[in-house]
Amino acid sequence: MGATSVALHAKTDALHTKAAALDAADPLAKRRELFALDDGAVYLDGNSLGALPRHVPARMADVIGREWGELRIRSWDESGWWTAPERIGDRIAPLVGAAPGQVVVGDSTSVNVFKALVAAVRLVGDDSRDEIVVDATTFPTDGYIAESAARMTGRRIVPVAPGDVAAAVGPRTAAALVNHVDYRTGRLHDLPGITAAVRDAGALAVWDLCHSAGALPVGLDAHGVDLAVGCTYKYLNGGPGSPAYLYVAERHQAGFDSPLPGWNSHADPFAMTPGYAAADGARRGRVGTPDILSMRALEAALEVWDGVAMEDVRAKSLALTDFFLECVEAYVPEGVVTSLTPAAHAERGSQVALACADAPAVMEELIARGVVGDLRRPDVLRFGFTPLYVGFADTERAARVLAEVCAQVRPGR
């Protein structure tokens, strides 16, 4: 055995030992048992689709067989279908740092971005504020929706880097739409600082929490956020296409003027009157009939959060991503991959993005070997670390397999 092999074995043994010690001390380790995961597989794509909580299929069998099959229309009252958007919103609220009565569940993230952005411009109510500042690195749909909202409200879009938002907002700004975590790189943006700057400029801050909710503390109330949206199928494990949510700070609810005033947000929806009168509170964010099957799956899935402190989730998230970067540095030859994710904890979400020239082939082989991440074309390998079910041994294995795959895909380089 050559000196290089001896050194690698020593590194591997040391990292195995460290992973075992970290797993043994992990207060969230037992949460993994709540999820349906394959033995031996490493699932690092929870930032695209969270894993299935084991109890959800049985709960859904009851929803379909009893609530729909037997109670039928009675379930709107007897099974709580009608109140599900607010009830489930109140379950999500503590995960994003919101008091009850400010989060309503329903529709998609895209629809909620549209509602929030148009409503923000209407809440400001100043035609001289003719600009909507938008995160230039945003997930594409947010940009598409923002362009449409700007056309509808007679504003223009001003795209800026998230770090420049504080300097860009001013007397012409109506609202600013920013992603809390960059979906490509995992960079965590300064929600408290940006929110304060936007509000000091007399505008409203709208945040997209898709890549932060369920992975780290958000603090919507504490930081004075005006409006926020997010999905539930990533770190919240609500299932594919599960409904999104809309946060409307209590101080804005009376003036929240939705551009989609559906019958579900009417003050008296069953009166069926031709004129629209908005309901009180966060219910103003509802539009049409709720998607009950997805709602009830999400409600059941959220039970995995019972008794979990978001501070513990954040601590483990940072420890996992630190350890992954340490293992990648130990196993993967220098120059093969480059981390795009900030090293500083204050700037990191719960994923690691690695630039790799052979990213498509590498990710395909990783998945074939049971390490599931995802690809952002053309050259980004993206690994999401979900603290409720990803462990440190998983993390070490993922980095080791990554090194093996890179050697296979890039022989002799």
Which active-site residues does the annotation give?
139, 208, 233-234, 382
SS3 content of the chain, % helix, strand, coil (to 5): 45, 15, 40
Chain center to CA of 386: 11
Question: How many Cβ atoms sit within 10 Å of the Cβ of residue 303?
Answer: 14
What span, in angstroms and rounded, lies between the C-alpha atoms of 68 and 62?
A: 9
Q: Which residues pair with 248 in a beta bridge?
A: 227
Q: Which residue has the tokens 């947000």?
A: 265
Q: 211 near 178, Cβ under 8 Å?
A: no
H or E segment to which residue 384 belongs: strand 380-384
204 and 226 Cβ atoms separated by less than 8 Å: yes
Task: Return phi, psi of residue 131, to 5°.
Answer: -125, 140
What SS3 state is found at 278? Answer: strand
C-alpha to C-alpha distances, 411 to 171, 277, 401, nearest whole angstrom: 57, 67, 15
Query: In terms of DSSP bridges, do strands 204-208 and 245-248 run parallel, antiparallel, or are they unpaired?
Result: unpaired
Largest pairwise CA distance in the chain: 83
Question: Rounded to an integer, what distance in angstroms lies between the CA atom of residue 64 and that of residue 68?
Answer: 5
Neighbours of 14 (CB within 10 A): 11
In the chain, count H helices and then E strands: 12, 13
Q: Nearest to residue 405, comparing CAs of 353, 365, 372?
A: 365
